[in-house]
Structure 1
Amino acid sequence: MTETASTARAASSAILERDGRFLLVLRRNPPSADMYAFPGGRAEPGETPDQTALREFHEETGIAARNPKLFSEYDLKTHAADGSISSHFYLSVFTVEADADAVAEAADDAAAIGWYSLDEIRRLPVPQSVLECVERLALRQ
């Protein structure tokens, strides 16, 4: 079945930065399988975007983040070979804070996890939205 704009799903992700390095997870599942991305995922019924970001961040990293601030929003569509839309998400991206000594561990659908600089991220397979966010944040420093 082809998805349309009316079936777009809400999703959120969270950006945690430490000393110019960003926490990314290697996605195990579509729509960004085998790509590095900010921890995040689909909203549960009744969740606000910031609640989704904090829950997904904790599920994928084991870190209890706090103080989510909306950073960017994306209307993301993935197209199938026949041109139809195979997935459609409205993504809310938040910056978050966490305890400096909190250790990230890959969990849920994260196959791996790590801290990456902007230069390293430019060489990784990442969604365009991730690279755009990191570049914008790097300009602030």
Structure 2
Amino acid sequence: MRTVQGVLPTADAALPVVACVGAVVLDARGRLLLVRRGHEPSRGLWSVPGGRVETGESVAAAVEREVREETGLAVQAGAEVGRVRIPGQGVVYDVVDLACTLLDPAAVPVAGDDADDVVFADAADLERLTCTPRLLETLRGWGVLPS
């Protein structure tokens, strides 16, 4: 597992921690599944599908649910690829990113829930999309970006 720490001032150490997940999903062509966030935080920016882990839910179940809600795609959660702590407004998001496998490689993603668009992005697409802060740097460091 690889961990990336967000910049957290010392006073923020007492903030509540919110458990979250992110899905690293590659299609058969090696493109990365991204959603454009429809709500804060980071509204209008591209990121991997994900969100909060609900009470009593495993990280695997949470990531599978979030991908289904945001993209309409069914995935199977796999190994953890990394973890990042992101400062938020009055909280710290502790995000576990999991590699996920598409259950139906022919399925077409459709934006839903709090995503207002969805795309499978190749390396050239990633260069032109406005992504959430440090997303590409983090995923590149974990070795999971399309080449």
Moved beyond 3 Å, runs of 4+: 2-6
Which of 107, 113, 121 is equivalent to 1:116?
121
- Counterpart residue number, 2:26: 17
Are 1:88 and 2:92 an aligned pair?
A: yes
- Return the TM-score normalized by structure 2: 0.80
Q: How many residues align?
A: 133
Equivalent positions of 1:10-89 (< 5 A) are 10-18=19-27, 19-78=29-88, 85-89=89-93
Q: Is the 8 A contact 2:34 2:120 kept in 1?
A: yes
Q: CA deviation at 1:51?
A: 1.4
Which of 117, 127, 130 is equivalent to 2:135?
130
CA distance in 1, matches of 2:57, 2:12: 22
Q: Which amino acid aligns with 1:126?
A: C
CA distance in 2, matches of 1:57, 1:5: 30
Q: Is the 8 A contact 2:16 2:91 kept in 1?
A: no
Q: CA deviation at 1:71?
A: 0.6
- Return the TM-score normalized by structure 1: 0.83
* SS of equivalent to 1:45: coil
**Overall identity of the aligned pairs, in %:** 27
Q: Is the 8 A contact 1:50 1:68 kept in 2?
A: yes
Which of 97, 101, 104 is equivalent to 1:97?
101
Q: CA deviation at 1:133?
A: 4.7
Q: CA deviation at 1:138?
A: 3.8
- Counterpart residue number, 2:112: 107
* SS of equivalent to 2:144: helix
CA distance in 1, matches of 2:97, 2:14: 20
Unaligned runs of 5+ in 1: 79-84
Q: Which amino acid aligns with 2:97?
A: V
Shift in CA distance, 31/5, structure 1 to aligned 2, threshold 3 Å? farther
